[in-house]
Structure 1
Amino acid sequence: MENVQQIKVTLIGDTQVGKTCIQTRYIYEKFDNTTISTTGGQFRKKFVFVNQKQVQINIWDTAGQERFRALSELYYRSASAIILVYDVTRMETFSNLKYWIGELRAKGDKNAVIVMVGNKIDAAERVVSKAQAAQFAAEEKVFYKEASALSGEGVTELFHFIVEQLQTSQITEKNEELIEKSKSWCC
């Protein structure tokens, strides 16, 4: 698979926030309301073209139950990007983002792109406002997006945003390397 950029994306967050449904919606372009809680981790991949480049997105869906949290580290430790999911209809899942961000900062890749995602925006009983979530994301210095695995709103855009962020950071890193090399050549 020459010239195929590979990225590892890991979905983390509390149980039943819709991580598996987001993954399923993105991979299969459908909503599956028969999903059961993930145990351990689940892997799927998808090939896409973003900015005229073929990209293989390797998506790891992790269990949100407390008894599996130690295993989650295995999946996000080497991830290029983390999708940190919470349910906009359940305040406790939003409150628990502090825990997840702490885990990522302590044990994850320092260069990983972190995107906080409010899922279930199609639901009428929303309790976490967009403004509240956006403020929290800004304070934590993570990206913020919203999505609905049920309707599909924002799901494809989420993954394409991540790929674009990673492509931009790779370009920046290459430019910084060239600048450093040119400094050593000229002086």
Structure 2
Amino acid sequence: MPTCLRAKCIIVGDSSVGKSSICQVFHSDGSHFPKNYTVTTGVELMVKHVNIPDTKDTVELFMNDSAGKEIFSDLVQKFWDHPNVIMVVYDVTSETSFSSCAKWLERVRSQKPDVHLPGVLVANKIDLDQRRLISPKAGQEFANSNGLKYFECSAKEMQNVDGSFYYLANEFYKLYQEKIETFKTLT
């Protein structure tokens, strides 16, 4: 019998790094890139089913697209209870957004300080290669030192957006399977 698991995915990063665009492109299966922008003022919720390869199981990702402006930080953190996976996003043309990744990661991890949360670091706007300030090496090093998997994408060009979400869904599924095996050994 197929299983459908629910995973709360907290998506964080500075304002204007493309969190909402990444979510909308993934949610629409790459058929929609938002042309008109409105600043996220709290948390926007989008839900998408992700099929787990080689099974009939799915993970229902509850994507909590969080506002990146500091003025909304207290409000936003109220929506972060019980996270299962984390996505930290930065803009490859912005050193400030990259420097802020540690702050965002710490804020989400503080919600469950004693639990390992699978996470990804997503470098967005790789289509702006001429203006790029943050190298792939710097992103990879930050991800490695913080226990994250590194991904690069361009929401605008709809390139490589899905990979990070599929990774998170699969990591969540693996943790679930490990817990099932642990419970079986206890009985």
The normalised TM-score by structure 1 is 0.88
Picking from 131, 136, 160, the partner of 2:137 is 131
1:22 is matched with 22
Radius of gyration: which is bigger? Answer: 1
Distance of aligned partners of 1:112 and 1:32 in 2 relative to their CA distance in 1, 3 Å threshold:
same
Distance of aligned partners of 1:91 and 1:164 in 2 relative to their CA distance in 1, 3 Å threshold:
same
Q: Is the 8 A contact 2:109 2:117 kept in 1?
A: no
Q: Which amino acid aligns with 1:16?
A: S
1:185 is matched with none
- The runs of at least 4 aligned residues of structure 1 exceeding 4 Å deviation read none
Matched, 1:96 2:100: yes
2:11 is matched with 11
Provide structure 2 residue ranges, at least 5 long, that are not aligned to the other structure.
none
CA RMSD of aligned residues (A): 1.7
Deviations 1:41-75 (A, max 9, x none): 11111223222313322111110000101122223
2:151 is matched with 145
Identity score, percent: 26
Task: Find the residue that maps to 1:149 and give its secondary structure.
Answer: coil
Provide structure 1 residue ranges, at least 5 long, that are not aligned to the other structure.
183-187
2:176 is matched with 170
Deviations 1:64-123 (A, max 9, x none): 000101122223331211111111110100001121122123234633222111111111
CA distance in 1, matches of 2:60, 2:110: 27
The normalised TM-score by structure 2 is 0.88
Q: Which amino acid aligns with 2:125?
A: K
1:114 is matched with 119
Q: Is the 8 A contact 1:80 1:112 kept in 2?
A: yes
CA distance in 2, matches of 1:108, 1:118: 24
CA distance in 1, matches of 2:11, 2:76: 9
CA distance in 1, matches of 2:135, 2:47: 32
Q: Is the 8 A contact 1:40 1:71 kept in 2?
A: yes
1:48 is matched with 50
Task: Find the residue that maps to 1:148 and give its secondary structure.
Answer: coil
Q: Is the 8 A contact 1:45 1:57 kept in 2?
A: yes
Task: Find the residue that maps to 1:75 and give its secondary structure.
Answer: coil
Question: How far 1:174 sits from its partner (Å)?
Answer: 2.0
Task: Find the residue that maps to 2:110 and give its secondary structure.
Answer: helix
Question: How far 1:26 sits from its partner (Å)?
Answer: 0.6
Task: Find the residue that maps to 1:76 and give its secondary structure.
Answer: coil
Which one has a larger percent helix, Structure 1 or Structure 2? 1
2:77 is matched with 73
